[in-house]
A = this chain, B = another copy of it.
Amino acid sequence: ADIASIFTGLTEPERLFAFNLLLRQNENLVTETLGEMEPEDAARLLAHLDPPTIAKLLQGLPTDDATELASQLPPELFESVMALMYVDQSADVLDQLQFDEDTAGRIMTPNVFALHEDMTVSEVIANLQRKSDELEMVFYVYVVDDRHHLVGVVSLRELLLNPPSMPLKKIMAADVISMPTTADQEEVARIVGQYNLVAVPIVDEENRLVGMVTVDDVVDVIREEATEDIYSLAGVDTDERVTTPPLRSLRLRLPWLHVNLITAILASTVVYAFQGTISQVVALAVLMPIVAGMGGNAAIQTLTVAVRGLALGELTWDNSKRIIFKEVLVGMGNGVVLGVVVAVIAWLWFRRPILGLVIGLAMIINMFVAAFMGILIPLVLKRLQADPAVASGIFVTTFTDVCGFFSFLGLATLFLKWIQ
């Protein structure tokens, strides 16, 4: 783990060099380091090695980590590595790859400690002794029936506190919380957090135990999802890190900036339409960025609260009507307060009271639009099964730019004879 964190501080060539050095010295350490690194970074390092070495390293990893890494290798390399791994281990990886990305099935480990309900405490302990090395983290024993259906759970603490002859059936908690393989990883993280679990068992559609997700994977999921939300709001690709090489960063950021450019031009065409008005009152050009910019900022506030609320499960389609109403109220409140402030400033600055009135009204209109769009757009995206964070920012600020310029310059055109 310490090595993994040193690795993140290195450049790509330095990393490769250090990695090869480590590989010759201590293979176990390499395996451990791979498991702790960002999967993208680890896969990029692996791709430089020959297939037999990769196969050997992947075999040393827990199945979920091996699957994650293997899935990021180039297709031909993936094929040859799979062919070189032990059949049971490559089968585990291939099985896991059948689940969709970001689901419980994909992040679970299939090596789960499950025993039959008729076993006694002493038999469990004997079993635990035998499998001691294979298992990732053991804190619970899951209890299954003849057909491997999950029927209960026993904590290690329970095992310690009960006599050796006691069957699991008698001491297990039958109301075990489990999740299907198809569950979204965010949902798994939410459940683990809500019930303070250390691991959650994963079952197939017939309630047969197929794996478990441990809390360390949940911690990764939470970090990953938080990064995704933050990045999506800012229009940054989720694969990017501070250590991403410059050319790749450029390629990742340019598409988004081009989308931004199109929306910026869209807003400019509104200004273009009012060129005549601006040429008569240049003060409008001075003040118009304030209306658009303030609307954008207010919209981003609303949007951020909404996106985070959706991620944490506090905002749902069901309670959305009340929250939309609330946000619109807040938006109007902001608009009135800031509209008055800006109106007074514009009036004093340019000594034209009507210009103050125009900008004040435009602010109120734009703050209303900012709040309404800031809450509506992520909700609608979520409803359409899209990520509510991605592209929300750009849609919302396009609305506030267009509306800010239009309401301000439009009102100014109406009142033109009084502000000239």
Contact = CB atoms under 8 A, between A and B. Distances in A.
A350 to B, nearest CB: 9
A117 to B, nearest CB: 19
Copies of this chain held together in the complex? 2
A385 interface: no
Given A223-B193, A267-B289, A243 B198 contact: no
A237 to B, nearest CB: 9
A243 B294 contact: no
A194 B36 CA distance: 7
B11 A236 contact: no
Q: What interface size band does chain A fall in?
A: 35 or more
B301 A234 contact: yes
Interface string A294-323: 100110110111111100111110110011
Contacts of A243: 309, 314, 323
Interface string A110-131: 0000000000000001001100
Interface stretch (A67-75, A97-105, A132-140, A145-153): A132-140
Contact of A282 (B9, B278, B298): B278
Contact of A257 (B189, B193, B292, B294): B294
Interface stretch (A88-96, A167-175, A268-276): A268-276
Contact of A322 (B11, B159, B215, B342): B11
Given A226-B223, A264-B294, A309-B241, A314 B9 contact: yes
Nearest to A140: B139
Contact of A160 (B8, B125, B306): B125
A58 interface: no
Contacts of A306: 242
A4 B194 contact: yes
A45 to B, nearest CB: 16
Contact of A249 (B8, B222, B284, B326): B326
B316 A293 contact: no
Given A9-B314, A219-B215, A341-B261, A298 B330 contact: no
